[in-house]
Structure 1
Amino acid sequence: MFEGWQYFHFLRPCWLLGILAAPLLYFITQKRLGADYQWRNIIAPHLLEHLKVRPAASAKFRPIHLISLFIILAALALAGPAWQREPSPFSEDKAPLVIALDLSQTMDAVDIAPTRLERAKLKITDLLQLRQGARTALLVYAGSAHTVLPFTDDPALLNMYIESLSTHIMPSKGKAPQKALKLAASLLDKSEIPGTILFFTDGISGKYAAQFTQYMQTSRNQIAVLAFGTREGGPIQTGKNRFLTKNGRRVMAPFDYEGLHTLSQKADIPVIGSTVDDNDVERLQRSIQTHLQAALAEDESLRWRDNGYYLLFPIVLLAALWFRKGWTLQWRA
């Protein structure tokens, strides 16, 4: 819910010393305004104890409590709590995204209805709805990788292209995620702020883990994977009620669980399995924005955002209590 709290700190921590004034003031008022102090030279202590009037239970909250809380909140506000960087005025505050859609033949498998590819296209549409106003680019790959659309903030334009994509349009067969990574990186390198490369695929061979790891270690961008498929795999659809066969038997498209697991472990890449609801795309969107906040937090050229003004609202409410009708200036608790 709260992104960037691991970077929480105070811009002006010296103001935190002001918090000490609250218990000090409370102690002084209790000491000097109490009955023991006021009558100590007039009434004998053993008699004074029986003459004191105990405050009613409803009068436990007194001005001294209000003042103490006011001082604490004011000190915290002046200390300048911060956990996010101020975005550059010359760049957007939403992370750029490159979608790399796998159009290899195995994406036509029907172990996920209607097919792995059609489900992936639906998930892309869902993700775009969560990224209103954010820049997104689209590329496809099989044995080769190609840019479908450079960065745009128009989801309708992206959806128009997505609807027409199929595995049959690719000029070369196979699955070359390393080529997609190289192409996606070239698109993000032109962006002023860090972004995410998101693979929609049914598998990435573990032999590419070293390349993906090297990119993650040397780039400010992140890689994530939304995976489609089941452990059992599924037949590859070639047309309506038609399936790819070999020697009279249907060809089963595998789901490369082992490759994705290797990629996740060695390259520290988040791999999320497709779900029937929106939990998967919501997790991805949070990951995309969290990565942006983390990258900006490490950019020393950007100022930290002072969030002390959030505390002004309770401070104003406390100040308004001074105008409460019937408020008694009785400081002794």
Structure 2
Amino acid sequence: MDWYRDLGITEIIFIALFAILYALYLVRVIRIGKSLNTPYSTVFIKLILRTLYFALFLVALLGPSFGGSKKEVKSVGKDIMICIDLSKSMDAFDVQPTRLEKIKFEMKRLVNAFNSDRIGIIIFSSEAFMQCPLTYDQNALNLFIETMNSSLVPSSGTDFGPPLRMALKKLEDENGPPTQSKSKIIILISDGEDFGEETEDVTREIENKGIKLFTLGVGTDAGGNIYAGRGLKTDRNGKPVLTKLNSRSLKDLASKTDGQYFEINETKNDVSRLINTIGKIEGELRDKRFMDVTANKYFYFLAAAAILLVIDIMLNIPTLRI
């Protein structure tokens, strides 16, 4: 027999109180019986009855489990690669406090929402770098997200090709046994300013592999300036750089892979909708096993104790006979 909880301080205190108080009661009854020269043995009938249902209440509190059975436990999940643009345009503040800081906050929501799935992070601008491989470790993911900034990657523009190709390769490397296929998803987060030339080719590969690509655009159509030190980032003519959200390229990428486009701007935040959409995708079976399980049968002992309590209340046994 297994127990839901061990005998602890609380139970020991209950037992001690019951024993002490009932001992004092017995001493008092016996003393009175002797002084009156009258039988007092019937008091022990109640003692046995009350001790019995007190013990049953205590056993019910500890949660006895027995009657073992086999239960099949299945492990089902998805693999999600998040590609995050860290080019200088992500430091624009048309989305408060900045595009990047807003995305870091929303990425933590994504990690929390898919805590039973494996998540990996790729950072990119004109080049792509693996920030965190596929993992279940939420603490590690949140740590990597917190340390992200635009100085981690070269600042020579944005190219969607390298991060998408890296994400595709990493997802393919995680195939495992032939019988263990997985639901694979790529999330591309950017302001949409793509200056690469291989994006269309890698998008076609993603489509052929049947992997869904979801894109999340961050920024506004009006655009925003970028902080650079104590002032604003300027172009060669000394004018403040204005970077705008290019949603068209992100929408095209999503539509070509049977994915969807989502957006964060000054008035709209589609991250909850993104989470719901990915959540509806059925994960693939990774593992299954049979485990020995037992059921908590406290209610049997609780019912028996309750019956004895009712009997105690209804049974009228004179403690002393005069």
- Give the drift of 1:255: 1.2
- Give SS of 1:171's match: coil
Alpha carbons 1:204, 1:263 under 8 Å: kept: no
Distance 1:275 1:175, change over 3 A: closer
Note if 1:197 corresponds to 2:186: yes
Q: What is the match of residue 94 of structure 1?
A: 77
Aligned to 2:118: 135
What TM-score, normalized to structure 1? 0.56
Which residue is 1:273 aligned to? Answer: 263
Q: CA deviation at 1:266?
A: 4.3
Structure 1 residue 251: deviation in Å? 0.5
In the other structure, the counterpart of 1:122 is 105
Deviations 1:2-45 (A, max 9, x none): xxxxxxxxxxxxxxxxxxxxxxxxxxxxxxxxxxxxxxxxxxxx
| Larger strand proportion of the pair | 2
What is the alpha-carbon distance in structure 2 between the residues aligned to residue 195 and residue 265 of structure 1?
17
**2:168 corresponds to:** 185
Q: SS in structure 2 opposite 1:120? A: helix
**Residue 234 (1) aligns with residue 224 (2):** yes
1: distance between equivalents of 2:174 and 2:277? 18
Name the CA distance, whole Å, in 2 between partners of 1:154 and 1:266. 31
- Conservation of the 8 A alpha-carbon contact between 2:81 and 2:167: yes
Cα distance in 1 between the residues matched to 2:256 and 2:232 = 36
- Tell me, what secondary structure is at the counterpart of 2:116? coil
Contact 1:95–1:289 under 8 Å retained in 2: no
The count of corresponding residues between Structure 1 and Structure 2 is 207
Structure 2: tracts of 5 or more residues without a match:
1-71, 176-181, 286-322
TM-score after normalising by structure 2: 0.58
Query: What's 2:142 paired with?
Result: 159
State whether residues 80 and 186 of structure 2, in contact with CA within 8 Å, keep that contact through their aligned partners in structure 1: yes
Matched, 1:175 2:167: no
- The residue that corresponds to 1:248 in the other structure is 238
Distance change (3 Å), C-alpha of 1:128 and 1:196: same
What RMSD over aligned residues (CA atoms) do the two structures have, in Å?
Answer: 2.8
Report the structure number with the largest CA radius of gyration: 2
Structure 1 residue runs of 5 or longer lacking an equivalent are 1-86, 300-333
Partner SS, residue 270 of structure 2 = helix
Whole-angstrom distance in 2 between the partners of 1:211 and 1:285: 27
The residue number in structure 2 matching 1:286 is 276
Give per-residue Cα distances to partners, 1:264-321, cap 9 Å, x unaligned: 444443110126899633322233233345xx5xx9xxxxxxxxxxxxxxxxxxxxxx
Percent identical residues: 27
Structure 2 residue 90 is matched with structure 1 residue 107: yes
Q: What is the match of residue 145 of structure 1?
A: 128
Residues of 2 paired with 1:224 and 1:212: CA distance? 14
Which ranges of 4 or more aligned residues in structure 1 deviate by more than 6 Å?
Answer: 275-279
Contact 1:101 1:140 in 2 (8 A): yes
Query: Structure 2: which amino acid aligns with 1:258?
Result: R
Q: Distance in 1 between matches of 2:183 and 2:73?
A: 12
**Aligned counterpart, 1:263:** 253
